[in-house]
Amino acid sequence: MSTLDVVNKVGKNINSLTLDNKVFDGKVNYALIHQAVVTYLSNQRKGLASTKTRGEVSGGGRKPWRQKGTGRARVGSIRSPLWRKGAIIFGPKPRSYRKEMPKRMKALALKSALNAKLNDREIVVIDDLNLGSYKTKELYKMLVNLGLSEQKVKIVTKSMEENLKKAVSNLEYCALEKASTLNTYKALDCNKLMFTVDALKLVEERIKRWLK
């Protein structure tokens, strides 16, 4: 059974947290992680690229010259795809890139991502993240105390506390995420994954509920 140290804002160990062995079992399914990341990134695509066919390009209604007798190649429109300013052959049209993935597979992928982070010692658990003000320097001071000031950090909380939300917005290498929306891609897209105790327990409950 794995445990993690719980630290406070000044970086001191104040407690230890026992991890749920149904979630943190050390197993990492890299193929499933890859599938979850590809699915997430694909679903972020808008698919708005569009080109015009010869029926949509303006102009070209008249045949440029007669079919026979000129010695030139036959052509029906100046908007032929072979001509400059003509149409595009097999060009992109608006489409959906959406992929679907079963909820159980998503849960297993997130579980694998968290285990990978745990195996690499990239998970930090903090007792409390309520800041006294919305100023970034208070959050930065906390990150310095934890040795995370020069790393890409993903902070996962149970709810979006307003002061923390404003303080994080000024740090380009720091991002805030709710425990209820954490997914495989977001869990991996950082050097350190910082949880509050409540947030980590909520993520564990989410995964266990999906795996039933």
The predicted pLDDT at position 132 comes to 78
Q: Name the helix (H) or strand (E) containing 180.
A: none
For 38-75, the pLDDT digits (tens) are 999 999 999 999 999 998 999 988 999 999 999 999 99
For 117-136, the pLDDT digits (tens) are 999 999 999 998 888 788 89
Q: Which of 28, 37, 194, 180 is nearest to 115 (CA)?
A: 28
Residue 155, helix vs strand vs coil: strand
Which amino acid belongs to residue 51?
A: T
The predicted pLDDT at position 212 comes to 79
C-alpha to C-alpha distance for 198 and 157, rounded to whole angstroms: 7
The predicted pLDDT at position 161 comes to 85
Domain assignments of the chain as residue spans, ordered by start: 3-45+101-210, 47-96
Do 152 and 34 form a contact (C-beta atoms < 8 A)? no
C-alpha to C-alpha distance for 148 and 150, rounded to whole angstroms: 6
- All residue ranges of the chain with pLDDT < 70 are 1
C-alpha to C-alpha distance for 153 and 175, rounded to whole angstroms: 6
Homologous superfamily of domain range 3-45+101-210: Ribosomal protein L4/L1 (3.40.1370.10)
The predicted pLDDT at position 149 comes to 83
